[in-house]
């Protein structure tokens, strides 16, 4: 009973808990924090249980749950996990308690509402990764907008309204056309079979029956509508402009979730829907995706280089890192795809940790300008140590997680698109320069600002918050097979 409903438990428990939290009077802030933390930790352990139950030798969906939802249209509450979504769900449920812990002192206003939003967001994210009914996926995907809009808009920085609205409108702009594409595909299925279905597995057959031809053929247009929604979320160049704004203005917790999970929804969507449903159209689009991915890698790194603001710098480096993921997906070999999926997780961990540490810095000093720091390594040695480690992970130092992902992507893409790999290689170097230069200017150099002399180092809570992320960063770096093994069968199945 418990195991057979494991996925819906992980998906729906946060939302139910959020409604429960709503009933507690808002003045019991500590209670709300501890409850939310306990719930999210419980959900994380439940998803660890899912990992235990998961059979890595199988490529198909496991722990599948199916129930009628809107029978008139064959819409089902249909969840399942395979090696691809497994890691992403784990990443999500890991990051939520981290975010709650990270917001312990930085979110002081409207504590209850913040945690409600966060738990609702969890349901949306996990649901989107697990949904096997395209309608259900769309519902989760769109629903995410509401709590994230509030998180950025209420607890964000000075230009938070602009950033929140931009985030909402950009994402919705992509997804409304996806809705039409979903309706169209469902109609094609209805016309050929006489029954309504939004089932992902059924659609694997249906989608290829949509007339295919040039760019303006129906299948290509449906493909583009899906791709646009995901490309905005990733974000791929040139749809990335919302990201720096959203990242900079979001509170620490929001940035962690945004970088850690939301962006992965885009790359996951590309793999799960564009790649799997429309293989023919995908083949045609690969060159475009590759070019945009490489542009994103190089452009993101260059723009990051000149940012005066730490958060913005990391945001642009995200554009660059997500370009690697897209390159790996576009190359489409087994190892490049595995690398791309692993890199999604890596980026979530490393960038999540970076935003967490930046948040700690911001909480103490109230500024994110690189110029306001310098030489604080001697003042805050623990923070410096963690920051350096995470930065090195992010730029791909061997022995840490980023290296494994980037190596697999580049090695896997080489036989398919050597030119793109060369371009991406340039991005690796640039990215390293950008990040290390930033670390140098913030932590080393002479201590130029007197007010930095009194900075407090990380306390126990903060260390405990960042430790789980560091643990996974090292684990993936040293022993990636733990994470690559379960996805191999699924990737093989998806690509063939």
Partner 1 sequence: MLFVPSSSDFLAILPEIILTVSAAALLLFSISARPFKRYVGEITLFIIVVAGWARLTFPLPGKVWGGTIQIDAVSSFVDLYILAAVFVCVWSAGPFLRRAEYEHTEFYSLLLLATVGAMVMASAVDALPLFLGLELLSLPLYALTAFLKRTSISLEAGLKYFVVGAFASAFVVYGLALLYGATGTTNLVAMGHAVRAMDGLNPLLALGLAGVVGGFAFKLALFPFHSWAPDVWQGSPTPVTAFLSVVPKGAVLIALFRLVDGMDLLILSSRWLIVGSILAIGSQFLGNFAAIVQRDIKRMLAYSGIAHMGYAMVAVIVAGLDGGTGVLVYMSAYTLMNIGAFAVVAFFSIDEGEAHLISDLQAQGWHRPIPALALTICLFSLAGIPPLFGFTAKFMVFGAAVNGGFVWLAVIGVVNSLVSAFCYLRVVYVMYMKPESSIATEFSPSFTLTAAAALTAVGVFVIGLYPTPILTAARVAALNLVR
Long-range contacts of 382-387 (CB under 8 A, 24+ apart): 382/457, 382/458, 382/463, 383/357, 383/457, 383/458, 384/443, 386/353, 386/357, 386/458, 386/463, 386/466, 386/470, 387/354, 387/357, 387/439, 387/442, 387/443
- Shortest spacing between CB 27 and partner 1, in angstroms: 13
**CB nearer to partner 1: pick between 93 and 185:** 185
Q: Which of 87, 132, 145, 342 binds partner 1 (CB under 8 A)?
A: 145
Pairing between β-strand 75-81 and β-strand 62-70 as defined by DSSP bridges: antiparallel
Number of chain positions touching partner 1 (CB under 8 A)? 33
Stretch that binds partner 1, among 162-170, 307-315, 407-415, 430-438 (CB under 8 A): 162-170
How near is the Cβ of 147 to partner 1 at its closest, in Å?
A: 11
CA-to-CA separations, 291 to 71, 72, 245, 418, in angstroms, rounded:
43, 43, 24, 12
Among the listed residues 44, 114, 143, 282, the single contact to partner 1 using CB under 8 A: 143
Query: Segment contacting partner 1 (CB under 8 A): 184-192, 280-288, 415-423, 470-478?
Result: 184-192
Q: Which of 44, 138, 278, 299 binds partner 1 (CB under 8 A)?
A: 138
Q: State which of residues 31, 41, 49, 172 lies at the interface with partner 1 (CB under 8 A).
A: 172
Length of the chain: 496
Helix, strand or coil, per DSSP, at residue 436? helix
- Residue 236 gets which letter from DSSP? P
Q: Which of 31, 41, 58, 177 binds partner 1 (CB under 8 A)?
A: 177
Q: Which of residues 377-436 bind partner 1 (CB under 8 A)?
A: none
Q: Does 150 bind partner 1 (CB under 8 A)?
A: yes
In terms of CB distance, is 52 or 158 closer to partner 1? 158
* Closer Cβ to partner 1, 165 or 436, answer by number: 165
> Contact between 184 and partner 1 (CB under 8 A)?
yes
Instruction: Report helix, strand or coil for 309.
Output: strand
Give the H or E element holding residue 207. none
Considering only 33-41, 137-145, 272-280, 431-439, which stretch makes contact with partner 1 by CB under 8 A? 137-145
Per CB under 8 A, 154 contacts partner 1: yes
What is the Cα–Cα distance from 140 to 261, expressed in whole angstroms? 14
Stretch that binds partner 1, among 135-143, 316-324, 362-370, 480-488 (CB under 8 A): 135-143
Q: What distance in Å separates the CA atoms of residue 401 and residue 328, rounded to the nearest whole number?
A: 16
Distance CA 403, CA 398 (A): 5
- Between 55 and 191, whose beta carbon lies closer to partner 1? 191
- End-to-end Cα distance, the chain: 34
Q: Is 309 exposed, middle or buried (0-12, 13-18, 19+ CB in 10 A)?
A: middle
From the list 49, 179, 202, 433, which residue makes contact with partner 1 (rule: CB under 8 A)?
Answer: 179
Measure the CA–CA gap between 17 and 388, rounded to whole angstroms.
Answer: 37
DSSP 141-176: HHHTHHHHHHHHHHH--TTHHHHHHHHHHHHHHHHH
Regarding 334 and contact with partner 1 (CB under 8 A), the answer is no
In whole angstroms, give the CA distance from residue 162 to residue 151.
13
161 binds partner 1 (CB under 8 A): yes
Minimum Å distance from CB 35 to partner 1? 19
Distance CA 405, CA 410 (A): 9
Nearest distance in Å: CB 280, partner 1: 20
139 touches partner 1 (CB under 8 A): yes
State in angstroms the smallest separation of the CB of 142 from partner 1: 5
138 vs 355, beta carbon nearer partner 1? 138
Question: What are the backbone angles phi and psi of residue 199, rounded to the nearest 5°?
Answer: -65, 130
- x/- string (CB under 8 A) for partner 1, residues 98-117? ------------x-------
Which of 16, 48, 183, 204 binds partner 1 (CB under 8 A)? It is: 183
- Give me the half-sphere count of Cα atoms (radius 13 Å) on the Cβ side of residue 278: 28
**Which region, judged by CB under 8 A, interacts with partner 1, from 161-169, 312-320, 348-356, 415-423?**
161-169
Q: What DSSP string describes 334-355?
A: HHHHHHHHHHHHHHHHHHHHHH
The pattern of x and - marking residues 189 through 208 that bind partner 1 according to CB under 8 A reads -x------------------
Please state the closest distance from residue 176 (CB atom) to partner 1, in A.
4
Measured CA to CA, the distance from residue 468 to residue 415 in angstroms comes to: 36
Distances (CA, A) of 192 to 73, 209, 278: 15, 9, 17
Report the interhelical angle of 401-413 vs 334-365 (nearest 10°). Answer: 140
The binder of partner 1 chosen from 129, 149, 203, 223 (CB under 8 A): 149
Q: Per rule CB under 8 A, is residue 164 in the interface with partner 1? A: yes
Binding mask 61-100 for partner 1 (x = CB under 8 A): --------xxxxx---------------------------
Shortest Cβ 70–partner 1 spacing (Å): 6
- Please name which of 34, 80, 76 lies closest in space to residue 55, comparing C-alpha atoms: 80
Binding site for partner 1 (CB under 8 A): 69-73, 110, 138-139, 142-143, 145-146, 149-150, 153-154, 160-161, 164-165, 168-169, 172-173, 176-177, 179-180, 183-184, 186-187, 190
């Amino acid at each position: 009973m418990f195991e057979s409903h494991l996925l819906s438990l992980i998906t729906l428990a946060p939302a139910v808990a959020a409604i429960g939290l709503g009933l507690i009077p808002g003045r019991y802030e500590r209670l709300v924090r501890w409850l939310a933390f306990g719930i999210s930790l419980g959900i994380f352990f439940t998803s660890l249980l899912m990992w235990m139950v998961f059979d890595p030798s199988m490529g198909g969906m496991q722990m599948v749950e199916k129930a009628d939802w809107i029978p008139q249209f064959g819409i089902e509450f249909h969840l399942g996990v395979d090696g691809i979504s497994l890691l992403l769900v784990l990443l999500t449920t890991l990051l939520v308690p981290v975010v709650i812990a990270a917001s312990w002192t930085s979110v002081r206003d409207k504590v209850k509402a913040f945690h409600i939003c966060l738990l609702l967001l969890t349901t949306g994210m996990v649901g989107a990764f697990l949904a096997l009914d395209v309608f259900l996926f769309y519902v989760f995907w769109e629903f995410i907008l509401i709590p994230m809009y509030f998180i950025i808009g209420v607890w964000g920085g000075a230009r938070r309204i602009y950033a929140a609205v931009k985030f909402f409108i950009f994402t919705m702009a992509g997804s409304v056309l996806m809705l039409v594409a979903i309706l169209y595909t469902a109609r094609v299925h209805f016309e050929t079979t006489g029954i309504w279905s939004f089932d992902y597995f059924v659609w694997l057959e249906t989608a290829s029956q949509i007339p295919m031809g040039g760019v303006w053929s129906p299948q290509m247009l449906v493909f583009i509508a899906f791709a646009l929604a995901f490309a905005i979320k990733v974000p791929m160049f040139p749809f990335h402009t919302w990201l720096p704004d959203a990242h900079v203005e979001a509170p620490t917790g929001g940035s962690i979730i945004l970088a850690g999970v939301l962006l992965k929804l885009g790359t996951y969507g590309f793999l799960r829907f564009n790649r799997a449903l429309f293989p023919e159209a995908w083949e045609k689009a690969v060159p475009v995706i590759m070019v945009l991915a490489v542009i994103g890698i190089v452009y993101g790194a260059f723009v990051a280089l000149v940012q005066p603001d730490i958060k913005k710098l990391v945001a642009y480096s995200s554009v660059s890192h997500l370009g690697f993921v897209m390159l790996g997906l576009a190359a489409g070999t087994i190892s490049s795809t595995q690398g791309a999926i692993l890199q999604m997780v890596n980026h979530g961990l490393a960038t999540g940790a970076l935003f967490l540490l930046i948040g700690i810095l911001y909480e103490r000093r109230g500024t994110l300008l690189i110029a306001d720091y310098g030489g604080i390594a001697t003042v805050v040695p623990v923070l410096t140590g963690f920051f350096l480690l995470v930065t090195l992970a992010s730029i791909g130092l061997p022995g840490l997680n980023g290296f494994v992902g980037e190596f697999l992507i580049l090695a896997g893409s080489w036989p398919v698109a050597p030119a793109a790999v060369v371009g991406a290689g340039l991005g690796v170097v640039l990215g390293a320069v950008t990040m290390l230069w930033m670390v140098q200017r913030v932590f080393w150099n002479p201590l130029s600002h007197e007010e930095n002399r009194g900075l407090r180092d990380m306390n126990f809570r903060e260390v405990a918050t960042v430790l789980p992320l560091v643990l996974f960063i090292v684990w993936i770096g040293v022993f990636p097979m733990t994470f690559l093994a379960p996805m191999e069968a699924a990737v093989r199945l998806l690509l063939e």
